[in-house]
């Protein structure tokens, strides 16, 4: 699709509604200010939430095609982000800098989304044991996201150290957002700011708005679905459209560059890979289940992070890619450096493995995990393996084969080319659409 047209049109609608709400509040002298505020609340809960959520969603989707974006499109994404004010983490910056790392290492210790998504899952104990408390928490977080995140970071509750690499950009971004809101207030009055603020909060699930559904199901790994790391919604088609395809999350993780206008065709092309997966049948039902989750425990294990990664002490090192924006610049340098260092690294690994003997996990073989689709379908990302004392030949022929079978990936060797599982080959064939097919243009 023409992202400039979609993003620009949605942003224009959003800002026009903000102007209208400002005018409604300013001209409601006969009915009092409350009448204008009621107009702003109604508009923000409906069209405003739709605009805010999908400005975020379009920015997210564009980040997967960042090498093809224009300066004008970046300007539109930045301006869209400004309208969120203190709500949200800063979509433009996050999606461009960090989001591709989430796709390449979903659920692992390198996944930047794990810490941020905890705010919908792990709620302060004083609020998590009552329904009203849980709704109050998601409302506070939705309306004051950046304040909550920074406060929790500095008091040590939930540190987001990767964000602190960008101190000056973060300060500039927050100042720009506040300046945007101040400009809206100066030009159009308090009603416009109220509309923008509530729209952004509703898009993040404030007051248990239906858009909360996306944030609590996208990586809903729980016992009832077999700890499936990534989950899609299987209910109403009109709600799929209202989310611009974001609720087809398994398909998105399998093929992140397919646009929202075509992602629904993935299941039609390769139904055998999706028909047996768990799907959330009802947004209202899952939100009510979240509200009633008052036993004080975490709502979910985000992308099976605790089950398959954090609870495992002996893990291979996952190779994590860079954001695409830097990839074309750094790849040649990185490849040459890795080539020069590889012999030394191999020697260190052999020495560490032989030194630890049967201690378990001392060797830590490097794993190249680039199959986001396999992880999305619930495959074990990393498995705990009891390494027994053995010679180097035994390791290569025995334990290595066992680890490959458990992980569903191949350990990297310089003298071998990458192999692919039958499922990978079938999926590749399914997505190599012939000319004229819905996906051939992608």
The DSSP string of 207-242 is: GG-TTHHHHHHTT---GGGTT-SS-EE-S-HHHHHH
Of 26-30, 31-35, 291-295, 375-379, least confident by mean pLDDT is: 375-379
Q: Six-digit token pair at 2? A: 């023409």
**pLDDT of 38:** 84
* Residue 93 phi, psi dihedral angles, 5° rounding: -70, -45
**pLDDT of 433:** 45
Residues 6 or more apart whose CB falls under 8 angstroms from that of 372 comprise 103, 104, 106, 253, 254, 256
426-430 LR contacts (CB < 8 Å, sep 24+): 426/270, 427/254, 427/270, 427/273, 427/373, 430/269, 430/270, 430/273
Query: Higher confidence at residue 27 or residue 176?
Result: 176
For the chain, the average pLDDT equals 74
**Number of other residues whose CB lies within 10 A of the CB of residue 239:** 16
Q: Once rounded to an integer, what is the mean pLDDT over residues 421-439? A: 47
What percentage of residues in the chain have a pLDDT greater than 70? 66
Q: Are residues 123 and 91 in contact, defined by beta-carbon separation less than 8 angstroms?
A: no
Residue 305: pLDDT band with limits 50, 70, 90: confident
Q: What is the pLDDT of residues 123-151, one digit of tens each?
A: 988 899 999 999 999 999 999 998 998 88
Hey, which bits of 284-438 come out as E strands?
317-318, 366-367
User: What is d(CA 198, CA 247) in angstroms, rounded to the nearest whole number?
Assistant: 22
Residue 401: pLDDT band with limits 50, 70, 90: low
Q: Which helix (H) or strand (E) holds 280?
A: strand 279-280
Burial of 238 (0-12, 13-18, 19+ CB in 10 A): exposed
Among candidate residues 296, 318, 286, the one with its CA nearest the CA of residue 305: 318
Whether residue 330 is predicted with pLDDT greater than 90 in this model: the reply is no
Buried b (16+ CB within 10 A) or exposed e, 107-129: bbebbbbbbbbbbbbbbeeebbe
pTM over 0.85: no
Q: Six-digit token pair at 334? A: 């990185």
As a whole number of angstroms, the longest Cα–Cα distance in the chain is 87
């Amino acid at each position: 699709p023409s992202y400039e047209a979609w993003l620009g049109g949605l942003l224009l609608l959003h800002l026009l509604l903000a102007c209208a709400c400002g005018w409604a509040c300013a001209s409601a002298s006969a009915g009092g200010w409350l009448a204008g505020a009621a107009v702003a609340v109604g508009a923000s809960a409906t069209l405003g939430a739709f605009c805010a959520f999908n400005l975020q969603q379009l920015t997210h989707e564009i980040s997967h095609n960042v090498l093809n974006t224009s300066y004008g499109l970046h300007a539109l994404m930045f301006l869209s982000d400004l309208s969120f004010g203190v709500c949200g983490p800063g979509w433009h910056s996050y999606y461009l800098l960090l989001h591709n790392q989430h796709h390449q290492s979903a659920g692992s210790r390198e996944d930047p989304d794990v810490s941020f998504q905890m705010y919908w899952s792990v709620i302060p104990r004083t609020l998590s044991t009552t329904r009203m408390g849980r709704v109050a928490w998601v409302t506070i977080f939705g309306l004051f996201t950046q304040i909550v995140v920074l406060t929790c970071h500095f008091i040590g509750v939930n540190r987001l150290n990767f964000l602190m690499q960008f101190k000056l950009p973060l300060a500039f971004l927050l100042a720009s957002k506040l300046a945007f809101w101040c400009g809206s207030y100066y030009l159009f009055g308090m009603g416009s700011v109220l509309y923008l603020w509530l729209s952004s909060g509703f898009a993040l699930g404030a007051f248990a708005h239906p858009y909360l559904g996306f944030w609590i199901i996208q990586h809903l790994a729980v016992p009832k679905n077999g700890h499936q790391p990534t989950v899609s919604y299987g209910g109403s088609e009109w709600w799929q459209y209202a989310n611009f395809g974001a609720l087809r999350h398994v398909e998105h993780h399998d093929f992140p560059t397919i646009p929202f206008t075509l992602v629904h065709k993935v299941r039609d092309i390769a139904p055998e890979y999706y028909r047996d997966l768990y799907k959330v049948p009802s947004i209202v039902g899952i939100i009510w289940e979240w509200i009633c989750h008052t036993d004080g425990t975490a709502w979910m294990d985000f992308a099976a992070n605790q089950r398959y990664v954090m609870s495992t002490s002996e893990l291979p090192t996952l190779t994590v890619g860079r954001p695409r924006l830097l990839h074309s610049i750094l790849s040649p340098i990185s490849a040459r450096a890795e080539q020069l260092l590889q012999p030394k690294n191999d020697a260190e690994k052999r020495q560490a493995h032989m030194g630890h003997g049967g201690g378990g996990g001392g060797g830590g073989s490097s794993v190249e995990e680039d199959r986001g689709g396999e992880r999305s379908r619930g495959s074990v990302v990393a498995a705990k393996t009891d390494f027994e004392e053995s010679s180097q030949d035994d390791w290569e022929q025995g334990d290595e084969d066992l680890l490959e079978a458990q992980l569903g990936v191949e350990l990297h060797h310089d003298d071998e080319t990458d192999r692919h599982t039958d499922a990978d080959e079938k999926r590749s064939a399914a997505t190599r659409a012939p000319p004229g097919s819905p996906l051939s243009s992608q």
